[in-house]
Structure 1
Amino acid sequence: MSRRTPMYNPSSLRSLEQERLQMRLAAPVLSGYLLRKEARDRGTSSRQTVGNPPMVCRDLVVQNALYTGNVEAVKELFSKGFPSDLLIQPQGGDMRWVGNGKVRGLWSLTYEQELTTPLHITAGRGFTECLRHLLLRGARVDLAPGGNTALHEACEECQPECAKLLLQYGANANATNEDGQMPLHVCTELDSLECAKHLLAFGALINSQSLDENDTPLHVAARHGLPGHVELYLQHGAALNLQNDEGNTPLNAACSQPQDCTSLQRYSRVCHMLVAAGADVQASDADKQTPLHMACKNANPDVVDLLLKHKALVNEMDYGGDAPMHNILKVVAYKTDHEPERIVQALLNYGSIRVWPGALPKVLKYCCTSPRTIEVLFNAYDRLKITDAWVEAVPPEVFQKHREFYESLFALAQTPRSLQHLARHRLRAFLEGRLHWVIPKLGLPTFLKNYIMLAFKDHMH
């Protein structure tokens, strides 16, 4: 619920003492009114029985008490004889003009929030004492007027104490919401780990699959880069290679999720856990994309190294005809902070196909902002046919920023490659596909070994 704009601004309320006074004055009147209305609507007594539809409350006094977690007010309002299974409908439904100024607009009736309950409000905001009082008053723990149960709400908003309390009062740990997800499926934040532990302790199914996508909790944890959750689920026997509707295993899901620089390490940890537990590094999704394809697309060099070391297929083609090398070269311009040059280097050292020489000017144009990527890729050729098109492919501002490197590259138009480079190229060609495990066994000096493995010099020779 934190993703929705709060309906009531606490700064607009009066002082706490004034609010408490209003609550005490309003409670008897509101309680009597609602009970009388309930009796009229049902044509029976005012006693609420299990199985009857809950009442809808639009009263601001009740809503403010719940949304601000005012324990005293909640206890006074939800006292003996007051129904605890109210549906809360926040004030909304104002007519609003919708238009962009260019076309004729419309008056639109919009609602700011779906129906909810006191349990949902207090559970999602961590108001444990308010939640406890409502549960003691007999509120139905699995009521879901907006699609989610209160337990879904507590887990989604990372409120472990509220989740535990709901479970203790009989909440269904495997209840399905309107999106076909169980509470474990909505544990998508790092801070939801304790919620996941409580759910498993109360019987949540570790391999339960969501109705829409057939995701397991391990798929969800891997996709969101949650190492703690992944470790927990593996300890509880989560299925490693179960595929969802898109053909993704949890490892595929982790590799295919877009990652910024701050999350690269988290996803690397997740992938290391999955691979160490026995995840299939060659499993492909519905588009025949393997974890290596996606790790290259999202430019995570540590994950690429991991997959290659565990025998990922470096030249596997997806249904679009792309190998992992194609995927990384497509995103270099957008992922320069991810060290894409490390990925290109690793792929080449494991025997990746190279780019057709006639396409090198195009590669230079789109990857020029990462000189090291250009360096390691171009050093995989024994000769380069440099023309004016190569010079024109590098924008002036990029050339000035990396002037020394590009001057050394373009100088090769009049100068042949060095004998040292030609010897390296010949050795690499001879050991094609075996380079990554043969070279470390030769006992070569470190500088020579690094040179053969295309270490970066920031200069072409």
Structure 2
Amino acid sequence: MEHSMFRRTLPSSIRIWPLHRATKCRSLCDVQHLVEGGALINETDYDGCTALHIAVHSKLTDIVKYLVEKGADVNATEVSRGRSPLHYATFNNDLELVRLLTESGANVQYSSTDVDIDMPILFAVEVGNIEIVKYYLENGIDVDVKLGKYKMTPLHIAASRGYIKLVDFLLLNNANVHLKDLQNRSSIHHAVISGKVKIVHDIIEKGVNINDGDIFKWTPLYIACRENYFEIVKLLFQNGAMSNLEERSRNRCPVHLATEMGRIEIIKYFISGGVDVNLGTTEECTLLHVAARFKQIEIVKYLLENGADVNKKIQGVTPLYVAVDSSCPNVTELLIQNGADLKLAECEGESILSLALEVVRAYRPRNHTVVVKVIIKYTVLIYNPIEQFIPDGCPFFEELTQYCKDCQKEITGMKNVIIKNSTISLYQIICDSNKHNAFIKYLCNDNIKNEIQNIEDCLKEFSIYSNINPLIQFNIKKGIQRMELFKDADLAMKKFVPKLPLEIRWKILDYLDLTEIKNVIQSDVF
């Protein structure tokens, strides 16, 4: 009896024909025996594959050659996935079989929307096989052919996957850097996605629009900031990328996105490169608001050190309001210690303390009481004496009320600490540090000025207020700056109103802000 393997036409119970089985078993002899015995060479199995598909997939060059010589259909396609033998050869990076099939009539441009299969070159580009890509281009495939679901060109795909040599090859073959895919992304977007600086550089050199936005209005710089590709950010910025172009969903610029995601080195680079530290979106959301919202304390520090407006309002709210709303005590305290005004933080009649208490009511976890305590701490410090302001029924009422009393107790203690070489109490210095003329009076006294600058030792005995020295030093710095401006402005005033007493001249200046004082110095108003 003839062995079942050599039956010519009857399939097995799962429709694996003898010719397919022989091919899978890599037996050229059995394949030849079956074909010569009349087996149907183009019969398909349950997946719609012919024996040629199987031979190509398994890289059985001798069997492929034999089947092709015997008339196997080189353009046969699977039923389910629509792949031809040429697709398999390309997927396997087998240039020899690609040549053999193409020279035997395989269609290099075959694709089908019915089963979502693209031209074979797509596989070659996806794995970065330059030789096979080159072969397809030599055999009539357009270097800018649109491939895949998003209609990307070979350059798009090669760039996004970081294939430096393939990108070089495509550019040498005049690939169009300006073409867009279905997401409106050009080659520069895909180059940035790869994270490869050389690819980005080479595509920029070809004159691509560096500020193009995709369907989400994401520019290449926006993507680089999102992915934290610092070297690419620098390259794009140096070549004219705009840091203030907004994307669609939340109107964020690249610099705002970098702030949100904590990209501190990128932020430093932008600011040092001339980006406005108070840059706002169309909704006037500043970098400091964004950093406060997303609890990026290192970026908050950097922005404050570089002149960010700590009391800038957007839609009625300051960065301090945002920090409290985000329940971030560290950022909240840092902002206050750098001049954030508790009263300016009020919004629509709601105090900053009321907001903090609302956060506790809404979320209730104990860690949310920390931000409330920060606000209580500085409210008591700056506006003491105050009435009881923790409402009955507030979550953690007893704890917060006791904390308020503890703050009051430390304030009383500060009133009893006298600054060395003066009759001024520690608390009086702290209170007056936020008042223009009163504090300047202290700064004019060298003994008191020196003691104030070393006030940290006086604070050590106060557990709650031991860390407020940054606030005092901030006010000292502001006071010294204002005093120097006062002196220059006073000279201008004295020139035109010499008989006006010094005290009156300084009283007039006390009504002016720093910008107005500078205008006095620079103008002939007096």
Which TM bucket (shorter chain)? 0.5 to 0.7
> C-alpha separation between the residues in 2 aligned to 1:23 and 1:67?
16
> C-alpha separation between the residues in 2 aligned to 1:312 and 1:237?
24
What displacement does 1:278 show?
0.8
CA 1:316/1:136 → structure 2, altered by over 3 Å: closer, same or farther? same
Q: Which residue of 2 aligns with 1:221?
A: 224
Q: Which residue of 1 aligns with 2:475?
A: none
Q: Which residue of 2 aligns with 1:237?
A: 240
Deviations 1:354-384 (A, max 9, x none): 3533444334454742665455433212168
Q: Which residue of 1 aligns with 2:301?
A: 305
Q: Which residue of 1 aligns with 2:59?
A: 19
What displacement does 1:298 show?
2.0
Q: Which residue of 1 aligns with 2:329?
A: 341
Q: Which moved more, 1:116-125 or 1:80-89?
A: 80-89
Q: Which runs of 5+ in 1 are unaligned?
A: 1-12, 38-56, 93-113, 333-339, 395-405, 456-461
Equivalent pair of 2:289/2:318 in contact (CA under 8 Å)? yes
Tell which has more relative contact order, 1 or 2 (C-alpha 8 A, sep 6+): 1
Paired residue for 2:166, among 162, 165, 181?
A: 162
Equivalent pair of 2:57/2:88 in contact (CA under 8 Å)? no
Structure 1 counterpart of 2:377, one-letter code = N
Paired residue for 1:451, among 461, 468, 471?
A: 468
Structure 2 counterpart of 1:292, one-letter code = L
Q: Which residue of 1 aligns with 2:435?
A: 430
> C-alpha separation between the residues in 1 aligned to 2:141 and 2:257?
38
> C-alpha separation between the residues in 2 aligned to 1:415 and 1:377?
11
Structure 2 counterpart of 1:218, one-letter code = L
Equivalent pair of 1:282/1:290 in contact (CA under 8 Å)? yes
> C-alpha separation between the residues in 2 aligned to 1:190 and 1:247?
25
Equivalent pair of 1:123/1:154 in contact (CA under 8 Å)? yes
Deviations 1:286-329 (A, max 9, x none): 3221222222222211222222223222222323x332223233
Count residues in correspondence. Answer: 369
Q: Give 1 or 2 for the bigger CA radius of gyration.
A: 2
Partner secondary structure for residue 285 of structure 2: coil
Work out whether 1:325 is the aligned partner of 2:328: no
Paired residue for 1:410, among 397, 402, 416?
A: 402
> C-alpha separation between the residues in 2 aligned to 1:216 and 1:312?
26
CA 1:189/1:213 → structure 2, altered by over 3 Å: closer, same or farther? closer
Equivalent pair of 1:361/1:389 in contact (CA under 8 Å)? no
Q: Which residue of 2 aligns with 1:3?
A: none
Equivalent pair of 2:353/2:372 in contact (CA under 8 Å)? no
CA 1:450/1:76 → structure 2, altered by over 3 Å: closer, same or farther? farther
> Where does 1:353-372 land on structure 2 (aligned, <5 Å)?
353-354=341-342, 355-365=351-361, 366=363, 368-369=366-367
CA 1:441/1:168 → structure 2, altered by over 3 Å: closer, same or farther? farther
Structure 2 counterpart of 1:451, one-letter code = I
CA 1:201/1:120 → structure 2, altered by over 3 Å: closer, same or farther? farther
Deviations 1:80-115 (A, max 9, x none): 8644333366x85xxxxxxxxxxxxxxxxxxxxx45
Equivalent pair of 2:360/2:395 in contact (CA under 8 Å)? no
Structure 2 counterpart of 1:291, one-letter code = L
Equivalent pair of 1:123/1:159 in contact (CA under 8 Å)? no
CA RMSD of aligned residues (A): 4.2
> C-alpha separation between the residues in 1 aligned to 2:450 and 2:227?
36
What displacement does 1:155 show?
2.4
Work out whether 1:144 is the aligned partner of 2:146: yes
> C-alpha separation between the residues in 1 aligned to 2:229 and 2:272?
16
CA 1:345/1:387 → structure 2, altered by over 3 Å: closer, same or farther? closer
Equivalent pair of 1:215/1:244 in contact (CA under 8 Å)? yes
Structure 2 counterpart of 1:288, one-letter code = E
Work out whether 1:202 is the aligned partner of 2:206: yes
Deviations 1:399-454 (A, max 9, x none): xxxxxxx969735447733035672752554379x9xxx99996426665953227
Equivalent pair of 1:240/1:278 in contact (CA under 8 Å)? no
Q: Identity of aligned pairs, percent?
A: 17
> C-alpha separation between the residues in 2 aligned to 1:58 and 1:391?
67
CA 1:78/1:393 → structure 2, altered by over 3 Å: closer, same or farther? farther
CA 1:211/1:189 → structure 2, altered by over 3 Å: closer, same or farther? closer
Q: Which residue of 2 aligns with 1:193?
A: 197
Structure 1 counterpart of 2:134, one-letter code = R
Partner secondary structure for residue 294 of structure 1: helix
